[in-house]
């Protein structure tokens, strides 16, 4: 590792790893409980190189750990965020908008990490206990991006703060705090060498490794057929090699060649290896409990809010991770950025992550509906603040009956209206059965009906002349 002081402010990383840094002894090779004890004892004295390598390499060899860790990281990285300026300071609002644009656009594909990648590296402090990324400052106080520095390049042998070990200073040098982003996981006290989840996870990984080896031995011994060839002594002496080759050609299954005088007994296992699978299942649940805070596996997530990443991490752990990141960005990125670009007189903007659980928004919506049914009504601004959604009030649409009542009558409707009313009056007055009983004959009924129709026509003409 090289450290070039003269590159500060150029937008290039000052810490430059060398290809030879890859040729390090593996911490997970032939991992045993005794080796884990030795690694942690060395870390307790401040020499964290092997513990940091163990935290890195364990992700390459344990699917349960990397799945759970990525789930916890993705639960935070998938949440919306923004930079919020102080409402009573116009300059703070302006610098907040400018800084948010910088954070969303910084980084490249070569040597500058993006802002989300830096957040992911900071969340990676969960295993080794700490994480450090260099801020790549540009001339004028702008940010080009970030650059992660692997944990095994640091030492705590002479202090409780990380010292970067370089070729020129193997004892370590202290980095300027305004040039780095430093996250101390603080899972077990303030000492970073003891504050990572690697300590319990290393034992779980070791036990799983031993259990998997025993399970594979069990499968090899009892899960594959054993081929036995029994021949007479004369054939054994002359055709032994040919028969061995024939047995091997059956595949990877075991086999043996012996004379008929040899008594062979093939022992069968009384169980199907359920103890090994029970052990591995227990270790998987323990890993999820340590990292996610709950024991459900990836296959059980469908019952938690459709299986999204946020629902798989316990809510209090998710809020704690978000709060730590917000505090970290506020003090180690926003504060020096505002100081370099605006001076100390501007109120500092805040980095905010919306970690409100979706279930709470659904409950709030039900509360708002209940209040509305009870006669109370929220303004669009208050409803937006409560739900986190940008709401606007919908314009009420008139009903079809109201539209018909407001429309002007057509000429046909104006002409038929009086006639319809008059005929309605006639139908109310006339009753065929009563008229038949009253007049007794069809002729008298027809005369009376004609008179009523004439009366209805006169009423219609009178109504039309008045309107």
pLDDT tens for 128-174 read 999 999 999 998 889 999 999 999 999 999 888 999 998 888 888 99
Instruction: Name beta bridge partners: 182.
Output: 132
- Interval 63-120: pLDDT, tens: 999 999 999 999 999 999 999 998 888 899 999 999 999 999 999 878 899 999 999 9
Alpha-carbon torsion 93, 99, 100, 101, what sign?
Answer: positive
Q: The tokens 């349960």 sit on which residue? A: 64
Q: Decide: 347 and 310 in contact? Cβ < 8 Å.
A: no
Q: What are phi and psi of 79, to 5 degrees?
A: -85, 150
Burial of 453 (0-12, 13-18, 19+ CB in 10 A): middle
Q: What are phi and psi of 458, to 5 degrees?
A: -65, -40
Write down the pTM of the prediction.
0.68
pLDDT at residue 375 in the model: 83
Contacts with 224 (C-beta within 8 Å, 6 or more apart), sequence order: 252, 253, 254
Burial of 212 (0-12, 13-18, 19+ CB in 10 A): middle
- Interval 410-460: pLDDT, tens: 555 555 556 556 555 555 555 555 555 555 555 555 566 566 666 766 666
pLDDT at residue 149 in the model: 93
Structure-token pair, residue 436: 């038949």
- Interval 333-344: pLDDT, tens: 999 999 998 888
Q: Decide: 62 and 69 in contact? Cβ < 8 Å.
A: no
- Interval 18-41: pLDDT, tens: 777 666 767 888 889 999 999 999
Per-domain boundaries in the chain: 2-196+305-351, 202-287, 356-387, 406-466
């Amino acid at each position: 590792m090289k450290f070039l002081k003269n590159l500060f402010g150029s937008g290039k990383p000052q810490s430059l790893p060398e290809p030879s840094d890859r040729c390090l002894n593996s911490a997970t090779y032939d991992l045993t409980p005794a080796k884990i004890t030795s690694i942690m004892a060395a870390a307790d004295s401040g020499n964290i190189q092997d513990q940091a390598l163990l935290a890195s390499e364990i992700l390459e060899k344990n699917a349960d750990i990397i799945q759970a860790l990525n789930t916890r990281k993705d639960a935070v990285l998938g949440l919306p965020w923004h930079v919020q300026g102080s409402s009573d300071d116009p300059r703070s609002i302006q610098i907040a908008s400018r800084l948010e644009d910088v954070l969303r656009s910084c980084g490249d594909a070569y040597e500058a990490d993006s802002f989300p990648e830096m957040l992911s590296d900071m969340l990676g402090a969960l295993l080794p206990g700490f994480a450090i990324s260099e801020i790549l400052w540009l001339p004028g106080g702008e940010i080009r991006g970030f650059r992660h520095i692997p944990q095994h390049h640091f030492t705590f042998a002479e202090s409780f703060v990380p010292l970067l070990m370089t070729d020129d200073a193997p004892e370590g040098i202290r980095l300027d705090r305004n040039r780095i982003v430093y996250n101390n996981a603080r899972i077990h006290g303030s000492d970073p060498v003891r504050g990572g989840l690697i300590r319990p996870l290393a034992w779980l990984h070791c036990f799983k490794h031993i259990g998997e080896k025993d399970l594979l031995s069990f499968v090899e011994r009892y899960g594959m057929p054993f081929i036995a060839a029994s021949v007479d002594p004369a054939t054994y002496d002359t055709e032994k090699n040919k028969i061995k080759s024939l047995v091997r050609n059956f595949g990877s299954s075991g086999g043996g060649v012996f004379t008929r005088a040899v008594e062979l007994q093939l022992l069968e296992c009384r169980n199907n290896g359920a103890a090994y699978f029970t052990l591995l299942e227990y270790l998987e649940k323990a890993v999820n409990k340590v990292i996610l805070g709950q024991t459900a596996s990836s296959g059980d997530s469908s019952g938690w809010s459709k299986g999204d990443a946020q629902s798989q991490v316990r809510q209090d752990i998710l809020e704690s991770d978000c709060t730590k990141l917000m505090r970290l960005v506020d003090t180690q990125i926003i504060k020096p950025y505002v100081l370099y670009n605006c001076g100390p007189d501007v109120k500092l903007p805040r980095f905010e992550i919306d970690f409100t659980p979706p279930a709470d928004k659904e409950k709030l919506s039900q509360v708002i509906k209940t209040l509305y049914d009870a006669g109370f009504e929220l303004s669009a601004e208050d409803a937006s603040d409560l739900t986190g959604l940008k709401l606007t009030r919908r314009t009420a649409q008139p009903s079809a009956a109201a539209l018909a009542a407001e429309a002007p009558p057509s000429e046909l409707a104006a002409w038929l209206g009086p006639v319809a009313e008059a005929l309605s009056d006639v139908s109310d007055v006339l009753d065929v059965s009563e008229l038949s009983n009253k007049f007794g004959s069809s002729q008298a009924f027809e005369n009376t009906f004609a008179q009523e129709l004439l009366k209805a026509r006169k009423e219609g003409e009178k109504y039309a002349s008045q309107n």
